[in-house]
Amino acid sequence: ATIRVAEITPDGALDLDALRAAMTPEVKLLAVTHVSNVLGTVNPVRDICREARKRGIITVVDGSQAVPHRKVDVAAIGCDFYAITGHKMCGPTGTGALWARREHLDAMPPFLGGGEMIKEVSFDGTVFNDAPHKFEAGTPNIAGFIGLGVAADYLQQLGQENVEAREAELLAHFNEELRRVDGLRIIGEAPEKAAVVSFLIDGAHAHDLATLLDLEGVAVRSGQHCAHPLLQYFGVAATCRASLAFYNTHAEIERFMTALTKVRKLLG
What is the rounded CA–CA span in Å between residue 21 and residue 41? Answer: 21
Give catalytic residue positions: 226
Q: Which residue, among 179, 180, 181, has the nearest Cα to 189 in the 3D structure?
A: 179
Sign of CA dihedral 173, 176, 182, 184: positive
Cβ–Cβ < 8 Å for 87, 77: no
Q: Which residue, among 144, 119, 267, has the nearest Cα to 207 in the 3D structure?
A: 267
Q: 16-110+140-158 with 160-267: one CATH topology?
A: no
CA atoms within 13 A on the CB side of 90: 16
Please give the DSSP secondary-structure letter assigned to residue 77.
H
Q: What is the pLDDT of residue 1?
A: 82
Separation of CA 130 from chain center: 30
Cβ–Cβ < 8 Å for 54, 214: no
Please give the DSSP secondary-structure letter assigned to residue 231.
H
Determine the 3-state secondary structure of 215 from DSSP: helix
Per-residue pLDDT of the chain (268 residues; tens, 9 = 90+): 899 999 999 999 999 999 999 999 999 999 999 999 999 999 999 999 999 999 999 999 999 999 999 999 999 999 999 999 999 999 999 999 999 999 999 999 999 999 999 999 999 999 999 999 999 999 999 999 999 999 999 999 999 999 999 999 999 999 999 999 999 999 999 999 999 999 999 999 999 999 999 999 999 999 999 999 999 999 999 999 999 999 999 999 999 999 999 999 998 7
Domain map (residue ranges) of the chain: 16-110+140-158, 160-267
- pLDDT, one tens digit per residue, over 112-130 is 999 999 999 999 999 999 9
Q: Which amino acid is at 99?
A: W
What is the architecture of the domain spanning 16-110+140-158? 3-Layer(aba) Sandwich (3.40)
Tell me which CATH code domain 160-267 carries.
3.90.1150.10
Cβ–Cβ < 8 Å for 40, 168: no
Cβ–Cβ < 8 Å for 38, 67: no
Determine the 3-state secondary structure of 205 from DSSP: coil
Max distance between CA atoms of the chain, in angstroms, equals 73
Cβ–Cβ < 8 Å for 63, 72: yes
Separation of CA 94 from chain center: 15
